[in-house]
Amino acid sequence: MNGRGRVARKPANMRYLADDVPPLAIVIVNALQYAAVTSSFLVFPLIIAREAHLTTAAADSMLSWAMLVLALGTSLQALPHGPIGSGYLAPSVMTAIFLGPSIAAVRIGGLALMSGMTIFSGAVQAVFSRSLNKLRTLLPPELAGVVIFLVGISNGVVGLRYLLAPDTGALPGLAHWIVAGVTLGVMVAANVWSRGVLGLSCALFGMLAGYIVAIPLGVLSYDKLAEVATLPVLAAPGIGQIGWSFDATLILPFVIAAIANGLKGAALLTASQRLLDADWVRPDLKPISRGVLADALTVMAAGTVSVFAVNVSASSVGLTAATGVASRRVAYATSAIFALLAFLPMFTQLLVLMPKPVVGATLVFTSCAILKNGMEAIAARIYDTRKTLVVGLSIMSGVGVEAFPATFQRMPALMHPITVSALVFGTAVGFVLNLCFRIGQRQTTTMTVEPVAPDVQALARFVETCGAAWGARRDVVLRAEHAVQELVESVAEYCKPHGPMRLSTSFDEFKLDLELAYTGIAFPTVKDRPTAEEIVDRDDGAHRLAAFLLQRYATGVSTSLRNGICTVRLHFDQ
């Protein structure tokens, strides 16, 4: 059941929704693949460890604490009830949004300063999460569709970078492409042609195949494997690197990072929500707000144990879309695996060493289903010039970040938390444009209709123009066009209106209303379908049939008579 009390209808491509209980084998293998996908982002705490000049033992302890933080965040996010947690399968991951501010903090005051400022930014994000419901008008459904689309773009482009530009200074060789091809090929084959555990865990089996091929081909070197072999199998994380301090000069960059982190979390949870409901039409911000709060508390926990900040994992959202498994049981199992890995440094380091072609192929694979969901959400609306610009410029802004990263990196350092991600920057541009374009936009419009030979095409254009200006759903606008044409023709023929009729439309986020006012005979309210005899024998039979058919188009029909003016109201749920 969604946040508005409606039972969600399972999409055709989803096997298990949040409340479903998959077989234990499916839960375990899916949890393993989520842990594998998110662990590749442990590179961020390793970067911080190098900047802070930590010893090898302290860096290993940081990774172990990072695993415990990921376990906490993944479980908090999955909580279905209470003030914290969206109830979705949306594992946590280390986020690039905080990379710039965190490096600056480490260079100024060491790891302790980064930790204290991370706690502060988590508190800021927690405050931001409480305001999401008030920002409902800034996240209309068409922008939510853009956000989902940008999630797919971000995942896909990052994956392509791993495949095409693996930071070695040379073009990828044949071994690189063999590993990538095997990884992607196994994922695709398992996803398309298998319906059992293999199909539901296609990413995990693809990554395992990539590892197996990468070792003999030298993509994953024996030297690195030998280093992993020197690590202890079992070890508890140390506390020597943990400490906290605060510097007011870093407030602004960490505030910006917190808001950007909140926006990204809201965007990814919106994408998760879209996956769970075939009849999804707009974001339900209550669970999203609780999810952003869970994310904020996890950021504060990360700062408390001197670990890099976290966010909802974009690649995991894509993995959910690809596998069709969204059960929160998988979230709890993933948390258990993270917690176990915190005490198994050898296996954690092996995940960190995931070959770049394996990472790239996985991200490209998981991006496909998200792109499809984003396109469906965008195409479900009709647009005027304003809405078209919001959608188009938001997408182009996000694509610009991915296509020309060096240009955005040269922007002022304060902008980096926003410009580091196509998703965050594209969403921010959409928010601003949507706010600006609301200026001068009317929520109620009227037109005059002559009762003699009313122009039904003009009526359709009027409704469509209004619907496009408001970003109404395409199917709702089409039903409203048919209904208003039927209504006007019926009133003009049977109700003998005196003088022009006035048609008005109004819109808010949840409904589209049309109102026809005229002076003449009251329009009948017909609950039951007229019989064939009634239609033929009664003088008003055809009129009554038209009145009944209106209820097939509209969610609700009502009439009133006041001071000689009859008003017919058509209501359409959005």
The average pLDDT across 428-448 equals: 79
Can you tell me the distance from the alpha carbon of 269 to that of 509, in angstroms, rounded to the nearest whole number?
20
* Helix 345-352 / helix 24-39 crossing angle, nearest 10 deg: 60
Give residue 536's pLDDT. 61
Q: Which of 109-123, 126-140, 214-228 has the lowest mean pLDDT?
A: 126-140
Q: Is the pLDDT of residue 425 over 60?
A: yes
Q: Is 28 helix (H, G, I), strand (E, B) or coil?
A: helix
| Whether 480 contacts 467, CB under 8 Å | yes
Can you tell me the distance from the alpha carbon of 443 to that of 148, in angstroms, rounded to the nearest whole number?
27
Tokens of 429: 């541009």
Between 522 and 294, name the one with better pLDDT: 294
Beta strands in 63-139, from DSSP E residues, in sequence order: 92-94
Q: Write the single-letter amino acid at 469.
A: A
Contacts 24+ apart (CB under 8 A), 562-567: 564/519, 565/517, 565/518, 565/519, 566/495, 566/517, 566/518, 566/519, 566/520, 566/521, 566/522, 566/523, 567/515, 567/516, 567/517
Name the band, by pLDDT with cuts 50, 70 and 90, for residue 245.
very high
Q: DSSP code of 82?
A: S
Q: Kindly list the domain boundaries of the chain, sorted by start residue.
A: 24-437, 444-573
Name the band, by pLDDT with cuts 50, 70 and 90, for residue 288.
very high
Give residue 135's pLDDT. 67
Q: Which CATH architecture has domain 444-573?
A: 2-Layer Sandwich (3.30)
Pick from 472, 476, 377, 394: nearest CA to 435: 394
The average pLDDT across 122-128 equals: 94
Can you tell me the distance from the alpha carbon of 268 to that of 272, in angstroms, rounded to the nearest whole number?
6
Q: Is 120 helix (H, G, I), strand (E, B) or coil?
A: helix
Give residue 133's pLDDT. 72
Decide: residue 77, CB within 10 A, 0-12 exposed, 13-18 middle, 19+ buried.
Answer: buried
Give residue 334's pLDDT. 96
For residue 265, what is the enclosing H or E element? helix 251-275
Q: What is the pLDDT of residues 339-385, one digit of tens each?
A: 999 999 888 888 888 888 998 898 899 888 888 888 888 887 778 78
Decide: residue 226, CB within 10 A, 0-12 exposed, 13-18 middle, 19+ buried.
Answer: exposed
Between 74 and 497, name the one with better pLDDT: 74
Between 207 and 382, name the one with better pLDDT: 207
Can you tell me the distance from the alpha carbon of 277 to that of 87, in angstroms, rounded to the nearest whole number?
14
| DSSP secondary structure of 331-376 | HHHHHHHHHHHTT-HHHHHHHHT--HHHHHHHHHHHHHHHHHHHHH
Q: What angle do CA 401, 407, 409 make, to 5 degrees?
A: 85
| Whether 97 contacts 261, CB under 8 Å | yes
Q: What is the pLDDT of residues 130-187, one digit of tens each?
A: 887 766 666 677 787 888 888 888 888 888 888 887 665 667 889 999 999 999 999 9
Q: Is the pLDDT of residue 448 over 70?
A: yes
The average pLDDT across 300-307 equals: 95
- The DSSP bridge partners found for residue 572 are 512
Give residue 440's pLDDT. 56
Can you tell me the distance from the alpha carbon of 67 to that of 42, in angstroms, rounded to the nearest whole number?
9
Give residue 68's pLDDT. 96
Q: Is the pLDDT of residue 7 over 70?
A: no
CA atoms lying within 13 Å on the CB side of residue 419: 18
Q: Is 535 helix (H, G, I), strand (E, B) or coil?
A: helix
| Whether 363 contacts 402, CB under 8 Å | no
Entry field: residues in the chain: 574
* pTM for this predicted structure: 0.75
Name the band, by pLDDT with cuts 50, 70 and 90, for residue 509.
low
Name the band, by pLDDT with cuts 50, 70 and 90, for residue 274.
confident
Q: Which of 7-11, 73-77, 364-368 has the lowest mean pLDDT?
A: 7-11
Give residue 167's pLDDT. 66
Give residue 136's pLDDT. 64
Give counts: helices (H), strands (E), the chain: 23, 7
φ, ψ for residue 516 (rounded to 5)? -110, 120
3-state secondary structure 494-523: HCCCCCCEEEEEEECCCEEEEEEEEECCCC
Give residue 540's pLDDT. 64
Q: Which of 241-255, 440-454, 492-506 has the lowest mean pLDDT?
A: 440-454
Q: Is 448 helix (H, G, I), strand (E, B) or coil?
A: strand
Pick from 482, 493, 503, 469: nearest CA to 541: 493
Can you tell me the distance from the alpha carbon of 468 to that of 137, in angstroms, rounded to the nearest whole number?
16
Can you tell me the distance from the alpha carbon of 85 to that of 83, in angstroms, rounded to the nearest whole number?
7
Give residue 5's pLDDT. 52
Q: Is the pLDDT of residue 66 over 60?
A: yes
- Measured in whole angstroms, how far is the alpha carbon of residue 419 from the centre of its chain? 18
Pick from 567, 561, 564: nearest CA to 502: 567
Q: Is the pLDDT of residue 63 over 70?
A: yes
